[in-house]
Amino acid sequence: MWKCGNLIAVALIAASPAYANPKPEDTWPGFRGHEMSGVAPAAKIPDRWSASEHVKWAVPIAGHGWSSPIVWGDTVFVTSAISSKPFKKPTPGLYGNEYIAEMQAQGVPDAEIGKRAQARDNELTDEADEIRYMVYALDATGGKVKWEREAVRMKPFGGRHRKNTYASETPFTDGERLYVSFGQNVGMFVYSLDGKLLWKKQWQPRPIYLDFGTGSSPVVADGKVYLLQDNEEQPSIAALDAKTGDEVWRTPRAGSGFPVKSSWMTPFVWKNALRTEIVTTGQGNVVSYDPQGKELWRVTRMSMPTASPFSAGGLLYVGTGSQGDANRPFYAIKPGANGDISLKPGETSNEFIAWSHPRASGYTPSALVHNGRAYVIHDTGILSVFDAKTGQMAYKVRVGGGGQTFSASPIGAGSRILLLTEEGTTFVLETAGEYKEIARNDLGEMSLASPAIAGNALYIRTESKLFKIAN
């Protein structure tokens, strides 16, 4: 156990076969696990747990961060941001426009409305102190720290939304290296699995829309690190050499019809039957690139780019939305597209769009396909479930009867669907054609990070701790 800002350094351990050759089911290598699917199909985890029941360990994590844990064999990796000055606390729930509407009704000038709303929702640059951007490797068996590293110490450029953090990007490992990003305005830091810094890369800081902060995680495939660096000045997607950090290519995204240039989604490497694609969303568009950075196809009339795409059963699933927006499209897309494949008015499918729904996507959570069904959860707790191949709706429900809000993405484990609320309660559902709630498991603390599953264990990050839950 440790206290914030006073972590005990431990000796490095030598790389072991457990690092190099774990079974796939004992790994969860990046954001949303294998191929960003969010699924551990054979995992056997408890249906019920609490802050003490079925808890193998619960380890305090210093500082503040909503990055997800990742797992490689006997090691769990996680990041955090530490400051000597208290961070502005997040609160669960939706940060809606009612506050703005009240001020408008009172005749408050627009400039003052913007100032008050930003003070409510954001931690601004002048409110932040110097940040220690930290990386931790924990022993998966007992939760002890194997090693810790301070990647960089600096005052942040730009602010953050209260529900974001300065360590929201999830690391990635390919079994050779640990790729840690703290966002385009801090940098990329790559380590050996025993904690040796191999290379780092930093860029000129750029402003993010409304000072919301960053959130796009790195992905690694075929010797390249793919980074989406959308900002308000020079949005782009880049590929770096995974061994050296050298930039292989960079494709500008400015002028692509994005009214807002920033985004927070994680790009997806789609290895389909025809080719490999790098699929992204930006405000207004889904855009897919080939591995050399050339645009292949796009879909227009999209919304806020926070949720991330993934594939299942040969189809690509992608959606965007915001909490109060009627335009929340969700698509199932076939391989092989080229050019603009957007639907025409009145269409729900075409040659390359297998099916769609105009108002289903979540704002923050990514969707899930498990056991033949697509599970799409909105931040407000509305769960829409579709046949993954046809798009026919199986059911639509307010999870738990209502009153729940969600930021974490759902995950599938065995025959279960896990939905983690912002207040730290996990709803366990059966993968059935109707809503069948098995359990509600409360950890008693706010949680916005998507969980991880490896080796029949569930890892949940709350505001102050990392839990390992298993039978």
What tokens does 130 get?
A: 């110097």
Q: Is 111 helix (H, G, I), strand (E, B) or coil?
A: helix
SS3 content of the chain, % helix, strand, coil (to 5): 10, 40, 55
Edge-to-edge order in the sheet of strand 188-192: 172-173, 177-181, 188-192, 197-201
pLDDT at 105: 85
pLDDT at 12: 36
More confident residue, 184 or 104: 184
Task: Say how far apart CA 110 and CA 373 lie, in whole Å.
Answer: 45
Residue 105: phi, psi to the nearest 5?
A: -65, -30
Low-confidence winner among 1-15, 76-90, 239-253, 331-345 (lowest mean pLDDT): 1-15
Band of residue 259 on the pLDDT scale cut at 50, 70, 90: low
**Cβ proximity of 238 and 249 under 8 Å:** yes
Single-letter residue type at 351: E
Burial of 295 (0-12, 13-18, 19+ CB in 10 A): middle
- Bridge pairing between strands 339-340 and 295-300: parallel
| Neighbour count for residue 418 (Cβ, 10 Å) | 26
Band of residue 364 on the pLDDT scale cut at 50, 70, 90: very high
pLDDT at 7: 35
pLDDT at 143 over 60: yes
Helices (H) and strands (E) in the chain, counts: 3, 37
**Cβ proximity of 31 and 266 under 8 Å:** yes
pLDDT at 124: 84
Give me the mean pLDDT over the 206-221 stretch.
95
pLDDT at 96: 65
Q: Which residues contact 17 (CB under 8 A, 6 or more apart)?
A: none
Q: Using the 8-state DSSP alphabet, how is residue 138 labeled?
A: E
With b for 16 or more beta-carbon neighbours within 10 A and e for fewer, the 153-162 pattern comes to eeebbbbbbb
pLDDT at 108: 86
pTM: 0.93
pLDDT at 131 over 60: yes
Place of tokens 């660096």: 229
